[in-house]
Amino acid sequence: MRPSSPAAFVQGYPGALSPQVCDDIVARFEADPRRYPSRTATRRNPLIRSGTMLDIPRYEAWADVCSLVTQVTRRCLDDYVQRYPSLQFLARPENSLITPPIIERIEPGQGYGYHVDAGASGTHDRIVSGLFYLRDVAEGGETEFPFQVMHVKPRAGLLLLFPP
C-alpha cells in the first residue's frame, strides 16, 4: 500500500490482543447481565446501529480489560503516528486521551451504518479511532471504509486504527 493512498490511513495491528484474551473478554461480556441494546451516542436508533453493547468502564470488574486495552492501544498508536508525522504532537500522551472501551456484539443481520466516529461527550476532537475485533468472522461482518474503497475482515485480536 502506498503512503499516498487514502487506504494507508487505515492501519491494522494483527495480534494486538492474544486469542486467549479475546476469548476471555467475550466470555465475560456474555456473562455480564448489564448488556443492553446498541445505541448511538445521542439515542437508540436501530436503523443506524443494532447489536448488544456494554459500557465496561462503568464497572470495576472490567478495570483490568480497560487497562489492557488502553496499554495496547497506546503502543499501537505510537506506531501509527510514526507513520503520519503530522499527528505526532497531537497524539503525545500528555496531549491526548484514549477514551475507555465499549464492547459491542454484532450478530448476522445487525450492524452499524455509515457514520463519523464522534458524538459522545469528549469525542468531537478525536484524531484517531480504534476498533478491536474479538472474534474471527468467516462470512460477512466486514468493516467497510467506503471512501478508501476498503473492507476489513474481522480477525480475533486485530486492532484497526483510522481517522474518525
C-alpha cell at 153: 475482515
Measured CA to CA, the distance from residue 117 to residue 41 in angstroms comes to: 10
Measured CA to CA, the distance from residue 26 to residue 164 in angstroms comes to: 25
Would you say residue 120 has pLDDT above 60? no
Instruction: Report pLDDT for 85.
Output: 83
Residue-wise pLDDT tens digits, 60-105? 999 999 999 999 999 999 899 888 888 877 777 777 777 888 899 9
Would you say residue 112 has pLDDT above 80? no
Beta strands in 6-163 (DSSP E): 11-13, 36-37, 49-50, 52-54, 103-105, 111-112, 129-132, 143-145, 150-152, 159-162
Share of the chain above pLDDT 90, in %: 40
Measured CA to CA, the distance from residue 58 to residue 56 in angstroms comes to: 5
Say what angle helices 19-31 and 63-83 make with each other, to 10 degrees: 130
In the chain, what is the straight-line distance between the N-terminal and C-terminal CA atoms, in Å? Answer: 20
Amino acid at 86: S
